[in-house]
A and B are shown apart, each in its own frame.
Chain A
Amino acid sequence: MNIAVLVKQVPEDLGAVRVTGDHTLDRSTANPVTDPVGRNALEAAVQLVEAAGGGTVTAITLGPAGAKATLKECVSVGAHAGVHLLDDGVAGVDALGTARLLAAAVRRLDGVDLVIAGTRSFDGGSTAVPAMVAELLDLPSITAVTALDAEDGALLCTRVIDDGHERVRLPLPGVVGVDEYVNTPRYPSVKSKLAANKAVFEVLTADDLGVVPDRHATVLEVTVPPAREPGVRITGDTAQDTADKLVAALVGAGVL
């Protein structure tokens, strides 16, 4: 089974991201890390390939030069190859533009049976990209997946719906968006971590992919949510003292 995994870097702490005058995000003050749900997507791919007894996992990321660290991380936990879509001209591209670039990169790979991504990224969180990629590749897709098993050329996917769980059979090739509950990503070994430092990745621009990075969405305004009122910390010298103060505070607030 050959699987392409779409994974990206996100700010570790969204609180460290600044909104700039032209409504884009300045991430330079935030520590970049691999999107946690992207790690789940990669783990799901590696487990499927391991269970199939063969195949390849190719990680694809769209991002600045530093995003190479994410590809290295993917290789250290089981990806066989990585593709870096690196192009300053597409910085800040919208969801459809992102999907067009990613779909073009998937199309260049031979015999992809499955594309896996996180359903909702930690930063943008539009949940649009996996389904858009599927549409552009003319493949069936399912998102919000919390469990998946390979079965005779298809995937049995479980996802949470409002009143329970839903089991969906996805014929392959197809596109899956996973949630963070789908698995627990493995840690790299020291050896695989060091080996990943030597990995060489294919680097492609929008031009290489034949994609014109036109923008369909225009951000008119970005606002930071108003700061919440700080809570009240109640501490006492003993547990009894703390409890007494808590009760007094609740009575004072009219809750009790």
Chain B
Amino acid sequence: MALIYTEEQSELIAMVREFVTQEIQPRIADCDRAGECPPDFFDSAFEMGLHLLEIPEEFGGGGLDFETTAMVFEELGRVDAGYAITLVSTFVALRNVILAGTTEQARLFADLIADGGLGAFVLSEPGAGSDAAAIRTTAVRDGDDWVLNGTKTWITNGGIARVYAVLARTDPDAGHRGISCFIVETDRPGVSWGHHEDKCGLRTSNTCDVVFDEVRIPADHLVGEPGTGFGVAMSGLNLSRAFMATICVGMMQRALDEAARYATERRQFGEPIIHFQLVQKLLADMAAQTEAARCLVHNTMRLMDAGQPVVKEGAITKMLVTDMLQDVVSKAVQVFGGNGYTKEYPVEKLFRDAKVFQIMEGTNEIQALVIGKALEREYTA
């Protein structure tokens, strides 16, 4: 592995690896088949604090830096991307509130999940995917309350979260400057959610529509100033893109591990197929891409730890790593041959799980636009 770890990081990684390999991995195939996880599935992760790793200790988190957190999430991604994303989505939602809100608001959000609960960042709508500024969910001031109405879609953790960070329009005429962020407890009257999407992959991650019907929330649940929600969403996406890429590195490492191990066991023409140079070429490409992806992710994490903006770097990382992931999992299936195309072997699931990473948290086409815009600014300045 290309990284140098501190003793503390090595121990943390070993602890999490043992936990996910022994406790979570054996249950994943059933959850994947069912398309959902049992209610107690995240209890151990909560007890270990895996849902709030990078959150400051004052809000009940582990207080880790981004880079160490990424090392842990690579381990989670190695075992199940959906499991990892459920936890990432939780701390990203809270991180948004910490960045944009008051200490009291951050504490309100954190207290709801610190002892064992999930959060969700509620942004996408049927008409607002890549065009995030086209949000139509409204929040209208009524006395001391805001009243939310609208439908959200593709919400990770939508049906299992205790609390949401919701993007809603507070000014119909102000474009992206008319969007605000709200803390919404999911047990408030008028909050409901649709069925969990029957997805091709990432089936252990809860994804559903969320409906707000005359949902009243107190005025102090508005995060930051009215009209600043779009900025909150963009900074949240920068963070979640970097962590999606981390999970992808875990998936790539798993694909490589499985393929290389299989190649030593599978015999053709009287010998293990790992002896054949064309198989070695597949494995070499997978290893090279995995190491490159890991280095890219960790550089982005170090930039974030240094407080640098990672708009361009985060987009580059997300685009490249998720593209490389497709190639790596496809090659893993190729090494497995026909067996890799069956549910009996783990690379089939990796193959299904991989695709959505080119779509979620901003499609890779959107990432290219973000990178292009950043270059335009850089070189015309």
A interface residues (Cβ-Cβ under 8 A, vs B):
69, 186-191, 193-194, 197, 235
Q: Give the residue name and chain of the A residue nearest to B8 (CB).
A: A197
Q: How far is the CA of A218 from the CA of B145 in the complex (A)?
A: 82
Write the B7-46 contact mask toward A (1 if CB under 8 angstroms, else 0): 0100110010011000100000000000000000000100
Q: Give the residue name and chain of the B residue nearest to A188 (CB).
A: B15
Q: How far is the CA of A31 from the CA of B63 in the complex (A)?
A: 29
Q: How far is the CA of A7 from the CA of B225 in the complex (A)?
A: 56
**Would B19 and A193 count as touching, CB distance under 8 A?**
no
**Would A193 and B64 count as touching, CB distance under 8 A?**
no
Say whether B99 faces chain A, with CB atoms less than 8 Å apart: no
Interface residue ranges of B160-188 to A (CB < 8 Å)? none
Stretch at the interface among B49-57, B283-291, B307-315, B317-325: B49-57
Q: Which of A188, A189, A191, A235 has most chain B Cβ within 10 Å?
A: A191
Candidates A187, A188, A190, A235; contact of B53 at CB < 8 Å: A190
**Would A189 and B12 count as touching, CB distance under 8 A?**
no
**Would A190 and B8 count as touching, CB distance under 8 A?**
no
Q: How far is the CA of A190 from the CA of B18 in the complex (A)?
A: 13
- In the assembled complex, how far is the CB of residue A61 from the closest CB belonging to chain B, in whole angstroms? 17
| Interface of B, helix, strand, loop or mixed by DSSP | helix
Q: Give the residue name and chain of the A residue nearest to B11 (CB).
A: A193
Say whether B62 faces chain A, with CB atoms less than 8 Å apart: yes
Say whether B47 faces chain A, with CB atoms less than 8 Å apart: yes
- In the assembled complex, how far is the CB of residue A25 from the closest CB belonging to chain B, in whole angstroms? 23
- In the assembled complex, how far is the CB of residue A76 from the closest CB belonging to chain B, in whole angstroms? 8
Give 30 pairs: A residue, B residue, CB < 8 Å, sorted on A.
A69-B11, A186-B47, A187-B15, A187-B18, A187-B19, A187-B23, A187-B44, A187-B47, A187-B48, A188-B15, A188-B48, A189-B47, A189-B48, A189-B62, A190-B50, A190-B53, A190-B62, A190-B64, A190-B72, A191-B57, A191-B62, A191-B63, A193-B11, A193-B12, A193-B15, A194-B8, A194-B12, A194-B62, A194-B63, A197-B11
**Would A191 and B8 count as touching, CB distance under 8 A?**
no
Q: How far is the CA of A187 from the CA of B22 in the complex (A)?
A: 11
Q: How far is the CA of A201 from the CA of B154 in the complex (A)?
A: 51
Q: A187-B44, A189-B62, A194-B63 are in contact. List 11 more A-B contacts (CB 8 A).
A: A186-B47, A187-B15, A187-B23, A188-B15, A189-B47, A190-B12, A190-B50, A191-B57, A193-B12, A194-B12, A197-B11
- In the assembled complex, how far is the CB of residue B69 from the closest CB belonging to chain A, in whole angstroms? 10
Q: Please name all residues of chain A whose beta carbon is closer than 8 Å to the beta carbon of B49 when the two chains form the complex.
A: 189-191
